[in-house]
Amino acid sequence: MEGIVATNKKDQIKPKRRFVNVTLPRDYSIGFRFVSFLIVALLLCGVGVGLLVASTSRNYLRQQSLQNNLNQATLAASYASNYIAAIEAHVKVFATRPDIVQAILNGTASQLQPTLTSFIQLQTSLNGVGITNPNGILLTNSTAGSTTIGQSYAGNDWFQEVVSTKQPYLSLPKLAQINNIPIETYAVPILDDHGQIIAILSAGISLKELSNAIVNIGYNTTTQAVLIDTRGSGLIIANKNPALLLTPVAGDNQAINQVLAGGNGSLVTTGSNGKQDLTGFAAVTGLPWGILVITPSSSAYSILNSLMQRASIYVVLIVLLSVILGVLLVLSVTRPLNRLIADTKIIGSGNLDIKLETNRKDEVGALSRAFNDMTNNLKTIMVSRDELAAEVSDRKQAEEKLRETNEYLENLFNYANAPIIVWNNQFTIVRFNHAFEVLTGRAAGDVVGKSIDILFPPSQKETSMDLIRATTTGERWDTAEISILRQDGSLRTVLWNSASVLASDGKTRVATIAQGQDITVRIQSLKSLKESEERYRTLFESAIDGILIADLATRQFKYANPSICEMLGYTQEELTRMGVMDIHPPESIEDNLAKFGALARGELKMVTVPCLRKDRTIIFANISAVKAIIDGKECNIGFFDDVTERRLVAQEREKIAKELAEKNTELERFTYTVSHDLKSPLVTVKTFLGYLKHDIAAADPLLIEKDMLFMNSAADKMGKLLEELLEMSRVGRIANLPVNVTFNELIEDTLGNTAGRIEEKGVKVRLHKEPVTLFGDRTRLVEIWQNLVENAVKFMGDQPAPQIDIGVEQRENGTVFFVRDNGIGIEPKYQAKLFNLFEKLNPKMEGTGMGLAIAKRIVELYQGKIWVESKGLGEGTCFFFTLPGALKDKKKGV
C-alpha cells in the first residue's frame, strides 16, 4: 500500500488515500512561469543561430556553384577545341594527298568518289566531303550517284573565303537537312606545286557528337550548358532544347557579352525569366565559339532550403518537449509536498499510527522521517507504561521454569550412559558423572578437584593435555581420540566431543564439558576384522585357481583375482566391468547357464564349461562355486580351474585308444580270417585226399575226378589267398618314392591294367578328366582305382549296356574321387561290411574279398575315407573316396 504502513492493531481504521480530498494550492504557477521563460529564451537563441547559419551557407553555396560552373565551362571549351582541331587536321592532310592532287590535275576528279566515301567512313563526325573546282562547281563528293554534281557552290561563304584567303575556313553554322543538327563546313584549298588553287575540299562537320558531350555537362539536372558561335551576335549551336538551335543568344546580360568578346569567368546573372542564374563561361581556343554553363540560383540553394525546413520542425518539437518536461518537473515537486501537508493534518488530529512515506531521498523525505520519529517517541511513552506490569509476572514464571530445567539437567548428567566430565580453566576436574566412574573405576569424590592429567596413561599424557589445552582457545572437538587409564591399570580408547561452558555474559569461558564414547571393543574387533580380511585377500590374490565374484542378481563381476585375469587374458579393471555373459562363447552360454543352475542348487559339485578369453580363444575350466554375502549383496564366488590342456591330453588319449582299438579289431579279424579261411581249403584237400583213396580203391572214375576237382579248387583258393595277404601286408609300407602324378595319368594306368577284363565284358568306360595333380606312390594309387574298376566289372550282372564312370567332384570339404557303375548294386544293409578283410557277399564269385579292403587301406594311408553309395539291388554302385594326404603334399614334389 503506497505511502502507508498499517499498524498491528486490528481495529485500526485505515486512513483514506489523500488524492481524493486534497486540492493543489494556487501558487503552483510559479513553476510554470519559470518554464515559460526558459522556452522563450531557447526559441530566440535557436532562431538567431539558424539565420546566421543560413546566410553564411548561401554565400558559400553561391561561390561553390559559380566556381563549379566556370570549371565545367573551361573543361567543355577545351574538349570542343581539341575535338574540332582533330577533324581539321585530318581534312587538311587529306587535301594534300598526292593521288587527290594528281586526279584533279589530270581532270579525273570525278573518279575520286570511292576515295572520298572511304575517308568519311573513317571520320564518323563528318557528314560528307566534296571537291569543287576553282569556279565553285562540284566535281565529286562522298555520295555515290549524287545529284548535286555539277551544281555551283560559288555563293557559299566557305567558297568565297577560301578563294580569297587561300586558307582553310570554318563556315557559319546551318542545320543539316537530314537530321536537323547543326553542321559547320570546313573548307580547305587544294593547291598545285606553284601554290595555285586547283580545287576546294569541303567537309561537313556534324556537331551532334560534340553537342551531346557538352549538353550533358553539369553537376545537377537544372544546370544547362550552351555552345555558342560567337560570330555576329552569337548563335546557339548546342543546347538541350533543340528548338533553340541556331537562334541568337537571348538577353543581353553581362555573361553573354563577355562570352561574345571571348572572355572567361563567372557571374550572377538575371535570366530572361527574371530569375537569378549562376553562370560560368569560357571561350573555345582557336574557334569563334564560347560556352555558357548556367545553374538557376533556386536549384543551387535547394539543399539549404530543405535543411531550413527540417530545422524548423525540430525547433517546434523541442519546444513541445520542453513544455511537457516543465509540467512534469513542477508536478514532481508539488505532489509530495501536498501529500505531506495532508498526512500531517491527520497526525495533528491525534492518529499516531499513521506512518509517513520516508523512502524519498530528497528534502521532502527528510522532513517525513523527522515527523515519523516524533510520532514514534510519542507512542513508546504510551506503551511502556502498560507493559511494565506484565513483565513482572513473566519473570516469576521464568524463574520457576529455570529451576525445573536445572534439576532435569542434573539428573541427565548423573545418570547418562555416556561418561561426561567438566573441567575448569586450570584443567582441574569439576564434575565427573556416574558413567565416568564406571569407565575409570574411580569414584567422583576421589578425582574432583584434581588435575585432569591423572586420567591419562603416562606415555600419552603430553599429547592428551595438548588436546585439552586446545579447548581453552574455544576449540570444539567433534571426535578427539584420547585414551583413559583405569584405576586397575588397563587402557580404554575413548572418542570425545567437547563444548565450552560460558558465563552468563555468553562470552567468557568458565569450563569445558566433554562427553566420551568407549570404543575399545570396537577398535579391537576392527583390528581383527582387518587381519582376517588381510588373510583372505592374500588367499584370493595368490590362489592358483581363478576366482571371480559375481553379483547374483545382475551377474556382473565385483572382484577378480590375478589367476583368473591370466586365465582369461583380461585385466582386473576390465573384468570388474564385465559380467557372466561376457566370458563364455555365445553358442554355449545357454548350456553353461543350465550347468551353473545345477551348481547353485547343489546338484553338481563342479561343472566343466568353455570360457571365452579376451583374444577370442576358448579354454575349458572346471568351475565350482559358493554363495556369500559381499558388500551387502548376495554373490557367487566362482573358482576356475583351467583344464584345457588336460582335456586336450585326454581327448588325444581317447583318440589314440580308439585308433588302437580299431587296429586291434582289424588284427583280430585278420588272425580270425587267416585261421578260418586258410584252414578251410586245407580241410577240403585233406578230406578229399581220404575220399580219393577210397574212390581209387573202388575204381569209381566219376568220383575220382570230382574229388580231384574239389582239391584243385581248394589249392587254387589257398594260393590266391596267400598272394593277396602278401599284397595286403605290402600296403602298409610305401615302397616307391612319392611323385607328382595327374589324375588322368593314374586313370590311364588303371585302364591299361584292366583292359582285358573290361573288353571281355564289353564295358564302356567314361572318363571325366579333371586337372588334378596328386603326390604319392604311383603304383599304390593306381591300385585303388584298379580294385574299384575290377569290382565294378565283376558285379556288372546281366546289365545289357554296362558302363563305368570315373571322375572327380569338388565338394565343400575337399576333392572327392568316384567310380560309378550301373551293375547289380548293393543292398544298404551290407554296405558297412563291404570293406572288411576277406568279406565276400557272394561266395560263388571269384576272388578272396580282399580288393576293397586293400583299396581302403591305401586310401587310409593318404588320410582319406572311402564309402559306397547304392540305392540297392539293380541300382548300380558308386564308390567315393578322398585322398587329402596326396593332395596336400603335392607342392613338395619336383
Partner 1 sequence: MNMKGEPIVILVVEDDPAHVEIIRRNFEASRLANRLISVEDGQAALDYLFRKGEYNNQAKYPMPNLILLDLRLPKVDGLEVLKIIKSDQMLTKIPVVILTTSAAEADMVKAYEHHANSFLVKPVDFTQFSKLMETFGYYWVAWNQYPQDL
Q: What are the residues binding partner 1 (CB under 8 A)?
A: 668, 671-673, 675-677, 679-684, 686-691, 693, 710, 713-714, 830, 839-844
**Which of 111, 169, 121, 165 is closest to 141 using CA atoms?**
111
State the nearest-atom distance from the C-beta of 862 to partner 1, in Å: 29
- Tally of CB atoms within 10 A around 253: 17
State the nearest-atom distance from the C-beta of 840 to partner 1, in Å: 5
Query: 577 or 686: whose CB is closer to partner 1?
Result: 686
Phi, psi of 590 (to 5 degrees): -65, -45
Q: Where are the alpha helices (DSSP H) in 4-156?
A: 29-95, 98-105, 113-122
Query: 489 or 843: whose CB is closer to partner 1?
Result: 843
Separation between Cα atoms, residue 840 and residue 829, nearest integer Å: 14
State the nearest-atom distance from the C-beta of 684 to partner 1, in Å: 4
Q: Which residue(s) pair with 368 in the sheet?
A: none
State the nearest-atom distance from the C-beta of 664 to partner 1, in Å: 12
State the nearest-atom distance from the C-beta of 830 to partner 1, in Å: 6
Query: 598 or 696: whose CB is closer to partner 1?
Result: 696
Query: 559 or 691: whose CB is closer to partner 1?
Result: 691
C-alpha cell at 499: 563444548
CA 811, 817, 822, 823 torsion-angle sign: negative
Query: 671 or 736: whose CB is closer to partner 1?
Result: 671
Do the Cβ atoms of 497 and 477 come closer than 8 Å? yes
State the nearest-atom distance from the C-beta of 714 to partner 1, in Å: 6
State the nearest-atom distance from the C-beta of 638 to partner 1, in Å: 50
Separation between Cα atoms, residue 282 and residue 296, nearest integer Å: 18
Q: Judging by beta carbons within 10 Å of its beta carbon (0-12, 13-18, 19+), is residue 351 exposed, middle or buried? A: middle
Query: 507 or 844: whose CB is closer to partner 1?
Result: 844
Q: Quick one: angle between helices 302-348 and 363-415, nearest 10? A: 60
At CA 460, angle to CA 454 and CA 463, rounded to 5? 100
Query: 377 or 671: whose CB is closer to partner 1?
Result: 671
State the nearest-atom distance from the C-beta of 713 to partner 1, in Å: 7
State the nearest-atom distance from the C-beta of 778 to partner 1, in Å: 34
Residue 554: C-alpha distances to residues 495, 570, 572, 635, 837 (Å) = 40, 20, 18, 10, 62
- Residue recorded with cell 561343472: 607
Q: Where are the alpha helices (DSSP H) in 543-643?
A: 562-568, 572-576, 589-600
Residue 450: C-alpha distances to residues 71, 481, 498, 859 (Å) = 120, 22, 19, 109
Query: 165 or 712: whose CB is closer to partner 1?
Result: 712
The Cα diameter of the chain in Å comes to 191
C-alpha cell at 627: 554363495
147-157 b/e (C-beta count within 10 Å ≥ 16 → b) = eeeeeebeebe
State the nearest-atom distance from the C-beta of 831 to partner 1, in Å: 12
Separation between Cα atoms, residue 141 and residue 185, nearest integer Å: 14
Query: 690 or 893: whose CB is closer to partner 1?
Result: 690
Residue 416: C-alpha distances to residues 145, 436, 804 (Å) = 148, 10, 113
- Residue recorded with cell 559381499: 630
Query: 537 or 679: whose CB is closer to partner 1?
Result: 679
Query: 545 or 839: whose CB is closer to partner 1?
Result: 839
Do the Cβ atoms of 220 and 144 come closer than 8 Å? no
State the nearest-atom distance from the C-beta of 680 to partner 1, in Å: 5
State the nearest-atom distance from the C-beta of 698 to partner 1, in Å: 12
Task: Name the residue type at position 617.
Answer: T
Query: 171 or 877: whose CB is closer to partner 1?
Result: 877
